[in-house]
Chain A
């Protein structure tokens, strides 16, 4: 796994996930138009697939690609945090 984003970037990513991913997945990540992103709902999904979903989006669904706003490593960090309980 690549180096973790620095503390300031982590805060930006947390806010991005809660506020902007939250417009579909819910600010508490319990789901909305998009599915829930809680550890229980993600545990049986391979991390690489989730990273690709964030980075490249998922055609045929409303999930857009987020690659212009983060690196693949940062998407990896988000997935790791989502799977273990996302910070507030």
Chain B
């Protein structure tokens, strides 16, 4: 009898304990662009732990995280915004917020999720808890003319900076009063194609497609307006064709220098962030798409546009040159470093795999099967400005 009782007691204890308690700091998700799924992954075990479907068209999808790292907000190409519980591995809420979207951001206080849209061009703010629409700011740059929005990035004070592709301007929208946002506009240059905010949240940079150069706005001194840096980096030479636009989010600052993809040149531009002058350029094996620093800044990893999208070049920032060049797989679309950078995860779209590499030895330490994987997003982004 006593044995049975203690057995029952043990059962009861187990039942009360509920689901296993765990943190979220080593979790992440992989976008499977063709099948509308995300695979949830654990970067400690290097294994997937759940797969969630029904997210719509995930080509060019991206994700941001709530500040506790528990919820992911996935922005789909078709305008779907999906909130995922990383611990319970389920969709909490899903809304269709536009016809054609390109990404989004989360506010400094974690309360507002903002989506950037191509059609209709503009941004929309949502309550991060409920995904209820709070307000929208159309990207009307001339009467009746709306622009695609690119490069949306969060900055301090619940402000968001972004650029208008057709409109050629940088905008800063302040959501301190989320239902009545205010917007400031700054002329930027021809065809900004993407943007980023520096890790300290001070500078917003918009890469220009229509001219050689990068537009820069000091978010601490908006009254100074946007100015151009890296003007004429192409030195008037004819551009090489660009078969995929570079991405600036996830960019690199290391040792006081910024590493940026050139447009129409097979080069990474190196810029001194104190003066914003070019201090060098590093030849690479294709049109760079992502130029991403390992969290310690010692290495910068570069992937490439079609037809060089099977290659990766690794720059050593101390040596100032490519120290490792390899072809890890087919269709390398994205990369993400583990929180402190001992590993990097690469999506090999055409191999239907995510490949995991040791960043010191460059050896492959694991792989995960995934259906046409594209973006990889780890929860460490929750605590980073501009991610």
Contact = CB atoms under 8 A, between A and B. Distances in A.
B193 A33 contact: yes
Nearest to A69: B307
B59 A27 contact: yes
Contacts of B210: 60
Interface in B200-222: 209-210
A3 B33 CA distance: 33
Interface string B43-83: 00000000000000101100000000000000001100000
SS of A interface (majority): loop
SS of B interface (majority): loop
Given A23-B244, A62-B242, A32 B307 contact: no
Contacts of A31: 100, 118-119
A57 interface: yes
B242 A26 contact: no
A28 B99 CA distance: 13
A30 interface: yes
B77 A32 contact: yes
Contacts of B307: 69
B331 interface: yes
A28 B148 CA distance: 18
A36 B197 CA distance: 30
B78 to A, nearest CB: 8
- Give the most central of A22, A30, A33, A57: most B CB within 10 Å: A33
A26 B119 CA distance: 13
Interface residues of A, number: 18
Contacts, number: 58
A26 B58 CA distance: 10
A24 interface: yes
Interface string B294-329: 000000000000110000000000000000000000
A28 B77 CA distance: 9
A20 interface: yes
Interface size class of B (residues with CB under 8 A): 20 to 34
B245 A19 contact: no
Contacts of A27: 33-34, 57, 59-60, 77
B209 A62 contact: yes
A78 to B, nearest CB: 15
Contacts of A30: 57, 77-78, 100
Given A27-B34, A33-B148, A20 B100 contact: no
Given A26-B59, A31-B119, A32-B77, 18 more contacts: A23-B306, A26-B57, A26-B100, A27-B34, A27-B57, A27-B77, A28-B59, A28-B78, A30-B57, A30-B78, A32-B102, A32-B118, A33-B148, A33-B193, A57-B241, A62-B242, A64-B241, A64-B243
Interface of B: 33-34, 57, 59-60, 77-78, 100, 102, 118-119, 148, 150, 165, 191, 193, 209-210, 241-245, 306-307, 331, 349-350
Interface of A: 19-20, 22-24, 26-28, 30-33, 57, 60, 62, 64-65, 69
